[in-house]
Structure 1
Amino acid sequence: MSTNQNRIQELIAILFSRYVNRKSSNRERKLVEKIYDSIGKEKNAATEDLHHIKSEIKSAIDQRINHRKNFILNKYKYLSAAVILIVIGFSFYIFNKNRPANIISQENKIVLSTKKDSSPILSVNDDIYEITNNIPKGTSFQTIDDEKILNLINLDPLYTETKISISNPCKEPISVLLQDGSQVWLNYKSSLKFEFDKEKNFRIAWAEGEVFFDVKKMLNHNLKVPFKVITPLQTIEVLGTKFNINTVKDYEESVELLEGSIRLSHNLSHYGTMLQPGQKAFLTPNNSKILVINSKNDEKAKAWRKGLFYFEEESISAIAQELSNWYEMPIIVNADLNNLTITAMIKRYEKIDQVLELIELTNNIKTVKMKGKIYVLNK
């Protein structure tokens, strides 16, 4: 299947997922209904290629912006790249009759890298495993909800100390079920060390990079077994909860709580606070306090675990910084675009060009590569 067709399938999968979870807009719901109505009906093949369809849709949007500028500007100029590409996907689907049956099942699949030089690494005491090629005795890969998970619950009892560490040098997120039944996801260039002793009521993890935790509640002799997470700037105490840690930036760390509650303290000042679901905390090395805000939603934390970029009304500068970190390429944004915000859900493609193409499609910008840098300019 071609790259274009794969992208179209992914975008239609997002559309259907939003529809099922009642998160779709009126525009998106109408598209779903059209797709349903079209199933089983004969359509004549069309000769238009994908780029021509893109141009037509972009032209139509621009015309609506020009005719109703004051009202349409915010509604269409900053439309989600995902939503517009879903329109393209629907058009391409109608004209070419792509098979929709397997779309959703492909969306959530996580495939670990098969490159020997970029395999996730698991170490158990002094033993090291490239987990795409070899895993310890008693462990196994399982598929849950179309997600590939390394299960460490039945790790060989010969490993009595149950100290493990995991690092992920590849750009596919990996998921691991720890010995205590808690689940973690590691993003690109992220690592985790975990020590566990149920009899001593002891669970502790050290995390760097971006790691998502789904901590399992545990009792031992009617006592709750705490779970502690330590990063360079913070110590987090939990019992059973879901939260996302990000230490990627040298100057700032964040933790976002999705479920349950957590107590965190600043490692440098020992200032502490409690987080409730829907809150996000920021810590910096030069500020003893912890900034807590109400997070808009948890979609970004969910998206990266599925191999997606998610931006909701984020500035083009912030998006450029995230893409620059991911693709390790400097991105310079023209000052005229400082007020531009973008909402989009885009697959983390191997090449940055494919991501930039989707962003350019629905925003009045262009990108230029020059001397190893990317410049973002007004079109």
Structure 2
Amino acid sequence: MTHNQHLIDLLTGHLRGDLSATQQEQLNLWISQSDRNRLLFESINDEEQLKEMVLLYHQEESENNEAIILQKIRQGMGGSTGMAPVKELPVRSSWTWGWVAALVIVSAGVGGYFFLNKNGKQETAITEQQEILPGKDGAILTLADGTQVVLDSLGNGVVATQNGTQAVLNNGALAYSQEAGKTASVFNQLSTPKGRQFKLVLPDGTKVWLNAASSLRYPTVFNGNNRQVEVTGEVFFEVAQNHRQPFYVNVNNQAQIRVLGTQFNVNAYSNETIIKTTLVDGGIQVRPGADFDSSSFVTVKPGQQAEIKPAGNKTSLQPVRIINNANIDKAIAWKNGLFNFEDATLEEVMRQVERWYDIEVVYEQGIPNIEFGGRMSNDMSLSGLLKSLIESEVHFRVEGRKLIVMP
């Protein structure tokens, strides 16, 4: 029996709930071998329809080459197996098919992903491209005097001392420690270029994760009656509770967030049409505009997303729109090392690709009207990602660090 078939047997047995103790040990070992294996396992754990699809690949024991595997996937989509074509399945099922294919291809040792758009179309038109690597940890720290420190290549230790406060790098995260009796505060800024992410612990213990092409401006000591920071791009906050000192976030001078202690994600890239604040836990209040002292805050509850349309001036500010039952997993996928393209247009996907791979995306003949669904690890090369985005209505060409989308 091939390794491919054995893995499918283990996963099928798990979905049926009839694994022996030995088989369970083997499955646990495979899950522990990589984050990709773990994520794949978690994505299929509770999908009843996926169970039926995985069983389609239980019939042959000798097929472990890519061509035959892909042929089986196409047969499953085309209805010859007795199942409905992908285009007739509910929206959520579109990414389920992608994970079935990922399961078969990864387990066969091919080492790639297969992805479907919502129409269920695919082809193998993308040729091997030059390797453009995915993003990684890294940032630029700008001190109060304008000095910039590139954190990508520094080891653990003190990177700067300002007015008795030390900025310390420890295992890929920046934190601050203050000498006793020193209370003077200055402002620092942490910026992530395209292709970089970074974690920061603010002086009050608040944890902050910066996505690619983002920035956070903050004081080295929080004095006064509140804590104020400024963000651009995309940032995830885990705010330390302090009821006597409320926490405020200025978002691009276009929106304000007031919070006591909570976890939330802010997506405010300048090339996105909406500022989105997604609340994971706790409670926040959101308002449009640059002022902190206004009473026109709108309360956001866990699981909700507040949307604000950016405006060029105060007189044209748009009201806050609250989205119930927001897709939390999609909002914070980047923090967990994932792409989540559920209900995403091609243009939205390409904006994420631009930021993470530090490339330029150009459309040769307009932007194709395509929507995707699916999740995958963001640790693959650009060529690996492009292979996973194969579909019949669009092709890609790479020239240097420019990705050209063709009709």
TM-score, shorter chain, exceeding 0.5: yes
Q: Percent identity?
A: 21
In structure 2, do the counterparts of structure 1 residues 317 and 168 end up closer, same or farther at CA, with 3 Å as the change threshold? closer
Q: Offset of 1:349 from its aligned partner?
A: 5.0
- Match of residue 281 from structure 2: 259
What does residue range 153-168 of structure 1 map to in structure 2 within 5 Å? 154-155=177-178, 160-168=184-192
Distance 1:184 1:24 in 2: 31
Offset of 1:182 from its aligned partner?
0.4
Task: Say which of 138, 142, 147 aligns to 1:123.
Answer: 142
Q: Indicate if the aligned counterparts of 1:209 and 1:246 stay in contact, CA closer than 8 A.
A: yes
**Of 299, 309, 320, the match for 1:274:** 299
1:298-377 alignment runs, 5 A limit:
298-324=328-354, 326=356, 327-331=359-363, 338=369, 340-348=370-378, 351-360=381-390, 364-369=392-397, 374-375=404-405, 377=407
Does structure 1 residue 61 correspond to structure 2 residue 76?
yes
Quick one: which of 208, 227, 230 aligns to 1:203? 227
Instruction: Give the aligned partner of residue 204 of structure 2.
Output: 180
Contact 1:321–1:331 (Cα < 8 Å) also in 2: no
Equivalent residue, structure 1, for 2:261: 240
Which residue number in structure 1 is paired with residue 248 of structure 2?
Answer: 228
After TM superposition, the structure 1 = structure 2 runs for residues 36-47 of structure 1, keeping only pairs within 5 Å, are: none
3-state secondary structure, aligned to 1:356: helix
Q: Secondary structure at the match of 2:342?
A: strand
Q: Which moved more, 1:291-300 or 1:125-134?
A: 125-134
Question: Aligned residues, how many?
Answer: 321
* C-alpha separation in 2, matches of 1:227 and 1:303: 24
Code of the residue aligned with 1:353 in structure 2: it is S
- The equivalences for 1:89-104 within 5 A come to 89-92=106-109
Q: 1:333 to 1:58 in 2, by over 3 A?
A: farther
Q: What is the deviation of 1:333?
A: 8.3
Q: What is aligned with 2:327?
A: 297
2:8 is matched with none
Equivalent position amino acid for 1:246 in 2: N
Distance 2:96 2:215 in 1: 35
Q: Structure 1 counterpart of 2:198, which letter?
A: I
Structure 2 unmatched runs, 5+: 1-32, 56-60, 111-133
Residue 339 of structure 2 aligns to a residue in which SS?
strand
- Greater relative contact order structure (CA < 8 Å, 6+ sep): 2
Quick check: 2:249–2:257 contact (8 Å CA) kept in 1?
A: yes
Alpha-carbon distance between aligned partners in 2 of 1:352 and 1:374, rounded to the nearest angstrom:
13
Task: Tell me the TM-score normalised to structure 2 length.
Answer: 0.66
1:30 is displaced (CA, Å) by 8.6
What displacement does 1:67 show? Answer: 5.1
Structure 2 residue identity aligned to 1:358: S
2:220 & 2:384 partners in 1: Cα distance? 42
Tell me by how many angstroms 1:255 deviates: 1.2
* 1:6-155 alignment runs, 5 A limit: 9-18=34-43, 24-26=46-48, 48-49=64-65, 51-52=66-67, 54-64=69-79, 68-69=83-84, 73-74=88-89, 79=96, 81-92=98-109, 113=137, 119-126=138-145, 127-132=147-152, 133=154, 135-136=159-160, 138-142=166-170, 148-152=172-176, 154-155=177-178
CA distance in 2, matches of 1:32, 1:63: 16
Q: Distance in 2 between matches of 1:32 and 1:61?
A: 10
In the superposition, the TM-score normalised over structure 1's length comes to: 0.70
Q: Could you tell me how far 1:79 is from its partner in structure 2?
A: 3.7
Deviation for aligned residue 1:355: 1.4
Q: Is the 8 A contact 1:213 1:243 kept in 2?
A: yes
CA drift at 1:122: 1.5
CA 1:60–1:343 in 2, change beyond 3 Å: closer, same or farther? same
Superposed CA RMSD? 3.8
C-alpha separation between the residues in 2 aligned to 1:74 and 1:228? 44
Flag the structure with higher helix content: 1
More strand as a share of residues: 1
Contact 1:65 1:72 in 2 (8 A): no
Alpha-carbon contact 1:172-1:307 (below 8 Å) kept: no
- Secondary structure (helix, strand or coil) at the match of 2:160 reads coil
